[in-house]
A and B are shown apart, each in its own frame.
Chain A
């Protein structure tokens, strides 16, 4: 094969696969930032665990791996925090609402269109004492 033919074949091959840059990958750096190349040659979100070889390579290229791991950890933490916050908010919203007992008699009309707030209820935990005078014996 002459050099011109080899060059033409290379150019054609590059043009053929030039558009194939989507989700397929061979190396991690083929994927967008934050994604890794999976065993099926597709870019995917990294698992929560660190890369299998991160420990081996940490000593020699800790910068790159550390940055990727930091992004991964940050993402996982953010997702975890968001989930916890959402659940906490849901509990916080549900409990006070459930504790409030609404009674239409609590709203007392004042005659001028406005309404007073609910009357304070007697506290059941405080024992009721009767301060009325005893009746005289016959």
Chain B
């Protein structure tokens, strides 16, 4: 956050260039996402597959490095559909071939009314119909390892396709 603010101040203080600058990564971007997929898991020896709940999230990403383009993100997360729960997500976002391809890894924590936590990993691609606006699709895996919603000895993995709509905030 401090680095983002410092970058913002440096950007504002820099003298204007004669030529139009090339498009740069946003310092802060916001994205709303919705995902659906399948859920696998269970105890050892007994594995089930079923439809996953719908995951809806809103997250803000803060640029922390220019090359390679890297950002950290935090956000809120909710499960909906046949259940309702809320929580939080946080992680890192790497865009090795910007702006199209991105890789993310992070953690998630559902807090209410039950608890559930785990790690997330995703790879995706974005389209930019206009400057500062993008539509992204990600294949995401959520590795759920603990919480009151998991029976003792159970683990679960959710495989989801996530559709996101984002825009640059700064």
Contacts from A to B (Cβ < 8 Å):
3, 6-7, 10-11, 13-14, 17-18, 20-21, 24-30, 36-41, 51-54, 57, 60-61, 63-65, 67
Contacts and interface: CB of A to CB of B under 8 A. Distances in A.
B40 interface: yes
Contacts of B144: 27
A3 B125 contact: yes
A65 B42 CA distance: 21
Nearest to A66: B113
30 contacts: A6-B161, A11-B161, A13-B159, A14-B36, A14-B38, A17-B49, A17-B50, A17-B51, A21-B51, A24-B50, A25-B50, A26-B39, A26-B48, A26-B50, A27-B39, A27-B116, A27-B144, A27-B149, A27-B151, A27-B156, A29-B53, A29-B79, A36-B151, A39-B151, A60-B111, A61-B113, A61-B114, A64-B112, A64-B114, A67-B113
Closest 8 CB pairs of A and B: A64-B113, A57-B148, A26-B41, A41-B48, A64-B114, A10-B161, A61-B115, A27-B149
A10 B115 contact: no
